[in-house]
A and B are shown apart, each in its own frame.
Chain A
Amino acid sequence: MNTNTMIFSPSPHLHTGRTTPGAMRHVLVALIPSVAAALYFFGLPALEVLLVSIAACVATEWLITRYMLRRPSTIADCSAVLTGVLLALNLPANLPLWMVVAGSVMAIGIAKMAFGGLGCNIFNPALVGRVFLLISFPVAMTSWPLPSAGFGDADGQTGATLLSRISEGAVDPATVDSLQLFLGNIGGSMGEVSALAILIGFVYLLTVRVIKWHIPVAIAVGLVAVDLLAGYPPVVDLLSGGLLLGAVFMATDYVTSPMTSRGMLLYGVLIGIITASIRRWGAYPEGMSFAILIMNGATPLINRYIRPQRFSPRRKEVPA
């Protein structure tokens, strides 16, 4: 017997075969319908924003690992690509490209790598990038090209989002056509426009078991509850703005969301309540990004206090 070939390792000796990059790739696949919808409604500018965002995110991560941390590159884990896509989908298609680059550098450089890279960040990088742009360039970030179906170039027309028009009192939410909202023929950032595309992605993620249903459903519950109290049509609220995109793709980010199912439910419900509160009573017409970031900050606390239920209660300690 040749002992040279024996390998020994601690149990378990089997592994599921699932990997973190694999999960990232599943999310990217789930984003295909949303990306397709963005390209369909906004045309070439959307593609430009998307490609610039991805390239800037990946380049930022590569440069930081190569020249600042001097560690092996981590871009192969696909997380930078995913951040790039998510950031792009949170931006208006006509945003100047240099702003896209600034947002990407902020997202990867400050929100992710400064905290120590994948797994160590407290806040969702793509959302930090978006909120940074939203606060720094509010005008550019809130005037959206009107969607023009059929891959046509956006005709340069811009307008405020539905939510801001509602909050200004220009539109009565009760008169909004929910079907159009659902399909996406309404102005908004690239990824927000089509609820249908996002829901297809959601179903896909559930099928491949990359995410659990808890967070998105809890967000919807929290939002609808506040809407019912405030007497606002919940369907419009659910389908408009970045709610669905945030609920399915941003709030479910592994790193910045709680680990237990009960923690996820609490986290989701609070995101829903905060979002609805900001929309109804706050200064911003859109509150999803802020709500998620606030709850990202609360996630360590949730993990600390909402522990999984033990198999069985601890037996009374016998004093030694």
Chain B
Amino acid sequence: MLLFLYSILLLAGLGLAGALVLYATARRFHIDEDPRIDTITSLLPGANCGGCGLKGCRDFATQCVRQGSLDGIHCPVSSPAAIGEIAKVLGVEAVTGVERRIAVLKCNGTCSARPELYTYDGARSCAVMDAIAVGTRGCSYGCLGCGDCVAVCRFGAISINPETMLPVVDADKCTACGACTAECPRHLLELRPVGRRDRRVWVACSNRERGAVARRVCQAACIGCGKCARECPFGAITVADNLAYINPDTCKACGKCVGVCPTGAIHATFTIVPPKPKAETEKQ
């Protein structure tokens, strides 16, 4: 009986001693933290994607609490509603007018447009492949197809289309965190505004070679002919280094340029009415 008592007392004593140590440590190392940091962290997506340019969601929360506003920092992943909630916690007006953006691929080098010329035998990574050679398809600007962007996307928004071997961005899942645009060794992904009624137009090519050279490696390359720039009624298209670029701020997504491009290098998220005489003009 005494033995029982002895063991129970001993264990209880040990437990008590341990609890005291824990309590003392917690007191000693306690750091007073603004409770709003926890609140804001819980409102954030928690993906720690780094899209805001900070180290993670908690870092973002700490930063906004420290400066007391959302000035200059923005979480591209959060919905406007969530941003509004955060602003409420901070007691400031929510930043409005930050348009939702998504990533688009500036390459149209499908398997049929530029067949595979060389065989690659190495680590399956675009960064590795780009560091040593032009890629399996001979274009030194285009997509390498190893899926580094797929690997870095934390939202599962990018997948490789097995037919074209090009990445496809799922507009519903993309949060414009920018991980893919930073990862792509050829900078082929660009964040562009979603556009009104989900209408976007962009040049799906990054080849800066002269037209003839570009066409030799890829049938769908932008050859810098400038037809689109002449066609555009809003002056949104510029051609530099044999490559057209559509400025998303001035583009009204009328889609006229898509029809005139001789190589089909301009992509749109909507179907284009073929340019009949006096095609309907998108009213603003």
B172 part of interface (Cβ distance < 8 Å): no
A7, B128: Cβ atoms closer than 8 Å: no
A7, B123: Cβ atoms closer than 8 Å: no
**Residues of B90-125 contacting chain A, CB below 8 A:** 117-123
A10, B118: Cβ atoms closer than 8 Å: no
Give the total number of A-B pairs whose CB atoms are below 8 A apart.
27
**Residues of A1-52 contacting chain B, CB below 8 A:** 3-4, 6-11
A7, B131: Cβ atoms closer than 8 Å: no
CB distance from A304 to the nearest CB of B (A): 23
B117, A3: Cβ atoms closer than 8 Å: yes
B-side binding surface: helix, strand, loop or mixed? loop
B128, A6: Cβ atoms closer than 8 Å: no
A10, B123: Cβ atoms closer than 8 Å: yes
Chain A interfacial residues counted at CB < 8 A: 8
Task: Give the most central of A3, A6, A7, A8: most B CB within 10 Å.
Answer: A8
Closest to B118 in A: A6
A10, B128: Cβ atoms closer than 8 Å: yes
* The residue from A4, A6, A8 contacting B132, defined by CB atoms under 8 A apart: A8
A8, B133: Cβ atoms closer than 8 Å: yes
CB distance from B161 to the nearest CB of A (A): 24
A-side binding surface: helix, strand, loop or mixed? mixed
Residues of B within 8 A of A11 (CB): 132
Chain B interfacial residues counted at CB < 8 A: 11
CB distance from A15 to the nearest CB of B (A): 12
Closest to B134 in A: A8
A10, B132: Cβ atoms closer than 8 Å: yes
Residues of B within 8 A of A8 (CB): 118-122, 132-133
CB distance from A141 to the nearest CB of B (A): 31
CB distance from B39 to the nearest CB of A (A): 37
B119, A10: Cβ atoms closer than 8 Å: no
Residues of A within 8 A of B122 (CB): 8-10
Residues of A within 8 A of B132 (CB): 8-11
CA–CA, A44 to B123, complex, Å? 49
Produce 1/0 per residue, B109-153, CB < 8 A to A: 000000001111111000010011100000000000000000000
Residues of A within 8 A of B121 (CB): 7-9
Closest to B128 in A: A10
**Residues of A237-279 contacting chain B, CB below 8 A:** none
CB distance from B259 to the nearest CB of A (A): 35
Residues of B within 8 A of A10 (CB): 122-123, 128, 131-132
CB distance from B182 to the nearest CB of A (A): 22
**Residues of B229-276 contacting chain A, CB below 8 A:** none
Closest to A13 in B: B121
CA–CA, A58 to B282, complex, Å? 68
CB distance from B204 to the nearest CB of A (A): 26
Residues of A within 8 A of B120 (CB): 7-9
**Residues of A261-316 contacting chain B, CB below 8 A:** none
* The residue from B117, B123, B133 contacting A4, defined by CB atoms under 8 A apart: B117
CA–CA, A3 to B117, complex, Å? 6
Known: A8-B132, A8-B133. A3 touches B123 (CB 8 A): no
CB distance from A296 to the nearest CB of B (A): 29
Residues of B within 8 A of A7 (CB): 118-121
CA–CA, A152 to B271, complex, Å? 86
Residues of B within 8 A of A9 (CB): 120-122, 132
CB distance from A294 to the nearest CB of B (A): 24
Closest to A6 in B: B118
Task: Give the most central of A4, A10, A11: most B CB within 10 Å.
Answer: A10
Residues of A within 8 A of B131 (CB): 10
CA–CA, A285 to B251, complex, Å? 83
Closest to B123 in A: A10
CB distance from B179 to the nearest CB of A (A): 24
CA–CA, A11 to B120, complex, Å? 12
CA–CA, A8 to B122, complex, Å? 8
Closest to B138 in A: A3
CB distance from A39 to the nearest CB of B (A): 46
A3, B118: Cβ atoms closer than 8 Å: yes
Residues of A within 8 A of B119 (CB): 6-8
CA–CA, A6 to B132, complex, Å? 14
Residues of A within 8 A of B123 (CB): 10
CB distance from A32 to the nearest CB of B (A): 37
CB distance from A213 to the nearest CB of B (A): 34
**Residues of B155-191 contacting chain A, CB below 8 A:** none
CA–CA, A7 to B117, complex, Å? 9
Closest to A7 in B: B119
CA–CA, A7 to B122, complex, Å? 10
CA–CA, A3 to B118, complex, Å? 7
**Residues of A97-119 contacting chain B, CB below 8 A:** none
CB distance from A14 to the nearest CB of B (A): 13
CA–CA, A9 to B120, complex, Å? 6
CA–CA, A6 to B118, complex, Å? 5
Given contacts A4-B117, A9-B122, A10-B122, 9 further A-B contacts (CB under 8 A): A3-B118, A7-B118, A8-B120, A8-B132, A9-B121, A9-B132, A10-B123, A10-B128, A11-B132
User: Could you write out 17 A-B pairs with CB less than 8 Å apart?
Assistant: A3-B117, A3-B118, A6-B118, A7-B119, A7-B120, A7-B121, A8-B119, A8-B120, A8-B132, A9-B120, A9-B121, A9-B122, A10-B122, A10-B123, A10-B128, A10-B132, A11-B132
Q: Which 3 A-B pairs have the closest CB atoms?
A: A9-B121, A9-B122, A7-B119
